[in-house]
Structure 1
Amino acid sequence: MTTVLLVLHFFVAAALIGVVLLQRSEGGGLGIGSSQGMGNFMSGRGTANLLTRATAVLATIFFALALALGLMNQGTGRQRSIFDSAAPSAPGGTAPAAPGGLPALPAAPATPAAPAVPTN
Protein backbone atom coordinates (compact mmCIF):
# COMPACT_ATOMS: atom_id res chain seq x y z
CA MET A 1 0.00 0.00 0.00
CA THR A 2 2.82 2.37 0.87
CA THR A 3 4.51 1.72 -2.46
CA VAL A 4 1.32 2.55 -4.36
CA LEU A 5 0.93 5.79 -2.43
CA LEU A 6 4.58 6.69 -3.00
CA VAL A 7 4.25 6.19 -6.76
CA LEU A 8 1.01 8.21 -6.79
CA HIS A 9 2.72 10.91 -4.71
CA PHE A 10 5.55 11.07 -7.25
CA PHE A 11 3.16 11.53 -10.18
CA VAL A 12 1.15 14.18 -8.34
CA ALA A 13 4.36 16.06 -7.50
CA ALA A 14 5.50 15.91 -11.13
CA ALA A 15 2.10 17.14 -12.34
CA LEU A 16 2.14 19.94 -9.77
CA ILE A 17 5.56 21.07 -10.96
CA GLY A 18 4.36 21.03 -14.57
CA VAL A 19 1.20 23.00 -13.82
CA VAL A 20 3.12 25.62 -11.86
CA LEU A 21 5.62 26.03 -14.69
CA LEU A 22 2.81 26.47 -17.23
CA GLN A 23 1.28 29.39 -15.37
CA ARG A 24 1.91 32.86 -16.64
CA SER A 25 4.20 34.86 -14.41
CA GLU A 26 4.66 38.61 -14.32
CA GLY A 27 7.29 38.44 -17.04
CA GLY A 28 5.48 36.01 -19.32
CA GLY A 29 7.20 32.83 -18.14
CA LEU A 30 6.33 29.58 -19.84
CA GLY A 31 2.64 30.42 -19.79
CA ILE A 32 0.28 29.11 -22.44
CA GLY A 33 -2.25 31.85 -21.73
CA SER A 34 -1.48 33.85 -24.82
CA SER A 35 -3.64 33.27 -27.86
CA GLN A 36 -0.64 32.86 -30.15
CA GLY A 37 -0.04 29.20 -29.43
CA MET A 38 -3.54 28.20 -28.30
CA GLY A 39 -5.56 29.59 -31.16
CA ASN A 40 -9.13 30.22 -30.01
CA PHE A 41 -9.27 27.22 -27.69
CA MET A 42 -9.37 29.20 -24.44
CA SER A 43 -8.93 32.83 -23.61
CA GLY A 44 -6.02 33.97 -21.46
CA ARG A 45 -8.30 34.38 -18.48
CA GLY A 46 -9.88 30.93 -18.91
CA THR A 47 -6.49 29.26 -19.11
CA ALA A 48 -5.31 31.10 -16.00
CA ASN A 49 -8.43 30.03 -14.08
CA LEU A 50 -8.01 26.42 -15.20
CA LEU A 51 -4.34 26.33 -14.20
CA THR A 52 -5.06 27.99 -10.86
CA ARG A 53 -7.75 25.46 -10.03
CA ALA A 54 -5.57 22.57 -11.20
CA THR A 55 -2.76 23.84 -8.97
CA ALA A 56 -5.08 24.04 -5.97
CA VAL A 57 -6.45 20.52 -6.56
CA LEU A 58 -3.01 18.99 -7.10
CA ALA A 59 -1.61 20.77 -4.04
CA THR A 60 -4.46 19.45 -1.89
CA ILE A 61 -3.89 15.91 -3.17
CA PHE A 62 -0.14 16.29 -2.60
CA PHE A 63 -0.58 17.36 1.02
CA ALA A 64 -3.17 14.65 1.70
CA LEU A 65 -0.85 11.98 0.31
CA ALA A 66 2.10 13.32 2.30
CA LEU A 67 0.02 13.27 5.49
CA ALA A 68 -1.27 9.75 4.77
CA LEU A 69 2.24 8.45 4.11
CA GLY A 70 3.50 10.04 7.30
CA LEU A 71 0.71 8.55 9.38
CA MET A 72 1.13 5.12 7.81
CA ASN A 73 4.85 5.11 8.56
CA GLN A 74 4.42 6.35 12.13
CA GLY A 75 3.66 3.01 13.79
CA THR A 76 6.26 0.91 12.00
CA GLY A 77 9.54 -0.10 13.57
CA ARG A 78 11.43 1.71 10.85
CA GLN A 79 13.77 4.59 11.44
CA ARG A 80 11.63 7.72 11.76
CA SER A 81 14.32 10.36 11.55
CA ILE A 82 17.82 10.68 10.24
CA PHE A 83 18.77 11.77 13.76
CA ASP A 84 17.64 8.39 15.16
CA SER A 85 20.29 6.53 13.18
CA ALA A 86 23.42 5.13 14.77
CA ALA A 87 26.35 7.47 15.23
CA PRO A 88 29.08 7.21 12.61
CA SER A 89 31.81 4.86 13.67
CA ALA A 90 35.31 6.01 14.52
CA PRO A 91 38.28 4.73 12.50
CA GLY A 92 39.23 2.25 15.24
CA GLY A 93 35.72 0.87 15.72
CA THR A 94 32.39 2.11 16.94
CA ALA A 95 32.20 5.28 18.96
CA PRO A 96 30.54 4.97 22.35
CA ALA A 97 27.40 6.99 22.63
CA ALA A 98 27.17 9.94 24.97
CA PRO A 99 24.08 10.36 27.20
CA GLY A 100 22.29 12.56 24.63
CA GLY A 101 22.68 9.99 21.85
CA LEU A 102 25.59 11.88 20.29
CA PRO A 103 28.94 10.18 19.72
CA ALA A 104 31.50 10.73 22.46
CA LEU A 105 34.48 12.94 21.72
CA PRO A 106 37.83 11.21 21.36
CA ALA A 107 40.08 11.29 24.40
CA ALA A 108 42.66 14.07 24.52
CA PRO A 109 46.25 12.92 24.01
CA ALA A 110 48.29 12.54 27.16
CA THR A 111 50.65 15.44 27.87
CA PRO A 112 54.17 14.74 29.10
CA ALA A 113 55.00 15.68 32.68
CA ALA A 114 57.91 17.93 31.74
CA PRO A 115 58.60 19.68 28.45
CA ALA A 116 61.09 17.93 26.26
CA VAL A 117 64.36 19.82 26.10
CA PRO A 118 66.75 18.95 23.32
CA THR A 119 70.25 18.08 24.49
CA ASN A 120 73.37 18.51 22.37
Structure 2
Amino acid sequence: MQTVLIVIHLIVVIALVITVLLQRSEGGALGVGGGGGFMTGRGQANVLTRATAILAALFFTTSLALTILANLHRAPKSIFEGTVPATQAPVQGKAPEQSQGNLLDQLRQMEDRRQPSAPAPLTPPEPSPVTPSAPTPGR
Protein backbone atom coordinates (compact mmCIF):
# COMPACT_ATOMS: atom_id res chain seq x y z
CA MET A 1 0.00 0.00 0.00
CA GLN A 2 2.77 2.39 0.90
CA THR A 3 4.63 1.70 -2.37
CA VAL A 4 1.52 2.46 -4.42
CA LEU A 5 1.01 5.69 -2.51
CA ILE A 6 4.65 6.71 -3.08
CA VAL A 7 4.27 6.15 -6.84
CA ILE A 8 1.07 8.23 -6.90
CA HIS A 9 2.81 10.91 -4.87
CA LEU A 10 5.72 11.08 -7.32
CA ILE A 11 3.35 11.35 -10.31
CA VAL A 12 1.48 14.18 -8.59
CA VAL A 13 4.77 15.96 -7.83
CA ILE A 14 5.95 15.76 -11.44
CA ALA A 15 2.57 16.95 -12.75
CA LEU A 16 2.57 19.83 -10.24
CA VAL A 17 6.02 20.98 -11.32
CA ILE A 18 5.06 20.86 -15.00
CA THR A 19 1.81 22.73 -14.34
CA VAL A 20 3.58 25.48 -12.43
CA LEU A 21 6.21 25.86 -15.14
CA LEU A 22 3.53 26.11 -17.87
CA GLN A 23 1.85 29.07 -16.23
CA ARG A 24 2.51 32.51 -17.59
CA SER A 25 5.11 34.23 -15.51
CA GLU A 26 4.61 37.83 -14.59
CA GLY A 27 8.30 38.36 -13.97
CA GLY A 28 9.52 36.47 -17.01
CA ALA A 29 11.91 34.26 -15.03
CA LEU A 30 11.07 30.55 -15.29
CA GLY A 31 7.66 30.22 -16.90
CA VAL A 32 7.25 29.18 -20.50
CA GLY A 33 4.52 31.77 -20.82
CA GLY A 34 1.94 32.01 -23.57
CA GLY A 35 3.97 30.53 -26.40
CA GLY A 36 3.05 27.41 -28.34
CA GLY A 37 -0.60 28.13 -29.16
CA PHE A 38 -1.90 25.40 -26.80
CA MET A 39 -4.45 27.69 -25.23
CA THR A 40 -4.67 31.41 -25.25
CA GLY A 41 -5.45 34.14 -22.81
CA ARG A 42 -7.90 33.62 -20.04
CA GLY A 43 -8.74 29.99 -20.81
CA GLN A 44 -5.16 28.91 -20.25
CA ALA A 45 -4.91 30.82 -16.98
CA ASN A 46 -8.14 29.31 -15.63
CA VAL A 47 -7.27 25.72 -16.56
CA LEU A 48 -3.72 25.92 -15.24
CA THR A 49 -4.82 27.64 -12.03
CA ARG A 50 -7.45 24.98 -11.35
CA ALA A 51 -5.04 22.17 -12.24
CA THR A 52 -2.43 23.64 -9.89
CA ALA A 53 -4.96 23.86 -7.06
CA ILE A 54 -6.14 20.28 -7.59
CA LEU A 55 -2.60 18.92 -7.83
CA ALA A 56 -1.58 20.86 -4.71
CA ALA A 57 -4.51 19.36 -2.79
CA LEU A 58 -3.52 15.88 -4.01
CA PHE A 59 0.09 16.54 -2.99
CA PHE A 60 -0.91 17.47 0.57
CA THR A 61 -3.30 14.52 0.79
CA THR A 62 -0.70 11.99 -0.35
CA SER A 63 1.91 13.55 1.96
CA LEU A 64 -0.39 13.23 4.97
CA ALA A 65 -1.35 9.68 4.01
CA LEU A 66 2.32 8.67 3.69
CA THR A 67 3.07 10.17 7.10
CA ILE A 68 0.16 8.36 8.72
CA LEU A 69 1.13 5.06 7.10
CA ALA A 70 4.74 5.42 8.19
CA ASN A 71 3.76 6.04 11.81
CA LEU A 72 0.92 3.51 11.93
CA HIS A 73 2.96 0.51 13.10
CA ARG A 74 5.62 2.40 14.99
CA ALA A 75 5.55 1.68 18.69
CA PRO A 76 5.94 4.65 20.99
CA LYS A 77 9.29 4.77 22.70
CA SER A 78 10.83 6.82 25.41
CA ILE A 79 13.72 9.20 24.96
CA PHE A 80 15.33 7.49 27.95
CA GLU A 81 15.56 4.08 26.23
CA GLY A 82 19.10 2.92 25.73
CA THR A 83 20.63 5.39 28.17
CA VAL A 84 22.60 4.32 31.20
CA PRO A 85 21.55 5.86 34.51
CA ALA A 86 24.14 8.11 36.13
CA THR A 87 24.40 5.81 39.15
CA GLN A 88 25.54 2.91 36.97
CA ALA A 89 27.98 4.74 34.71
CA PRO A 90 31.60 4.77 35.93
CA VAL A 91 32.99 8.26 36.37
CA GLN A 92 36.59 8.49 35.15
CA GLY A 93 37.84 5.23 36.62
CA LYS A 94 35.88 5.51 39.89
CA ALA A 95 33.57 2.77 41.02
CA PRO A 96 29.89 3.59 40.69
CA GLU A 97 28.37 4.97 43.85
CA GLN A 98 24.93 4.13 45.07
CA SER A 99 23.04 7.34 45.68
CA GLN A 100 19.65 7.65 47.21
CA GLY A 101 17.03 10.24 46.40
CA ASN A 102 15.77 11.96 43.35
CA LEU A 103 17.56 13.75 40.56
CA LEU A 104 17.88 17.00 42.49
CA ASP A 105 19.62 15.19 45.36
CA GLN A 106 22.00 13.51 42.92
CA LEU A 107 22.85 16.88 41.35
CA ARG A 108 23.56 18.36 44.77
CA GLN A 109 25.86 15.43 45.58
CA MET A 110 27.72 15.94 42.32
CA GLU A 111 28.11 19.65 43.04
CA ASP A 112 29.43 18.89 46.54
CA ARG A 113 32.04 16.56 45.03
CA ARG A 114 33.23 19.28 42.65
CA GLN A 115 33.61 21.99 45.31
CA PRO A 116 36.50 21.89 47.78
CA SER A 117 35.44 20.36 51.06
CA ALA A 118 36.65 23.12 53.41
CA PRO A 119 37.33 26.52 51.94
CA ALA A 120 40.10 28.49 53.60
CA PRO A 121 38.81 31.11 56.03
CA LEU A 122 38.99 34.60 54.71
CA THR A 123 41.26 36.91 56.64
CA PRO A 124 40.94 40.63 56.22
CA PRO A 125 43.93 42.25 54.54
CA GLU A 126 46.31 44.14 56.73
CA PRO A 127 45.75 47.86 56.53
CA SER A 128 48.52 49.68 54.77
CA PRO A 129 49.82 52.87 56.30
CA VAL A 130 48.17 55.77 54.62
CA THR A 131 49.98 59.06 54.51
CA PRO A 132 47.76 62.05 54.19
CA SER A 133 48.43 64.12 51.16
CA ALA A 134 47.54 67.72 50.64
CA PRO A 135 44.89 68.43 48.02
CA THR A 136 46.19 70.01 44.90
CA PRO A 137 44.69 73.35 43.89
CA GLY A 138 42.58 73.41 40.74
CA ARG A 139 40.90 70.07 41.05
Fold equivalence (TM over 0.5)? yes
Label 1:29 to 1:47 Cα distance change in 2 as closer, same or farther (>3 A): farther
Segments of structure 2 that go 5 or more residues without pairing to the other structure are: 86-90, 93-139
Choose the corresponding residue for 2:64, options 62, 67, 89: 67
Identity in percent: 52
Matched residue, 1:48: 45
Q: Is the 8 A contact 1:33 1:48 kept in 2?
A: no
Q: How many residues align?
A: 88
Q: Structure 1 segments of 4 or more deviating over 6 A?
A: none
Deviations 1:45-86, CA, capped at 9 Å, x for gaps: 1111111100000000010111111111112238xxxxx8xx
Segments of structure 1 that go 5 or more residues without pairing to the other structure are: 79-83, 85-95, 100-106, 109-120
Distance in 1 between residues matched to 2:2 and 2:13, nearest whole Å: 16
TM-score (norm 2): 0.50
Distance in 2 between residues matched to 1:44 and 1:30, nearest whole Å: 19
Label 1:67 to 1:37 Cα distance change in 2 as closer, same or farther (>3 A): same
Cα offset for 1:97?
4.5
Distance in 1 between residues matched to 2:52 and 2:84, nearest whole Å: 47
The alignment's C-alpha RMSD in Å is 3.3
TM-score (norm 1): 0.57
Distance in 2 between residues matched to 1:48 and 1:29, nearest whole Å: 17
Deviations 1:19-63, CA, capped at 9 Å, x for gaps: 1111111123454553x520xx53221111111100000000010
Distance in 2 between residues matched to 1:62 and 1:31, nearest whole Å: 21
- Indicate the structure (1 or 2) with the bigger Cα radius of gyration: 2
Distance in 1 between residues matched to 2:29 and 2:36, nearest whole Å: 14
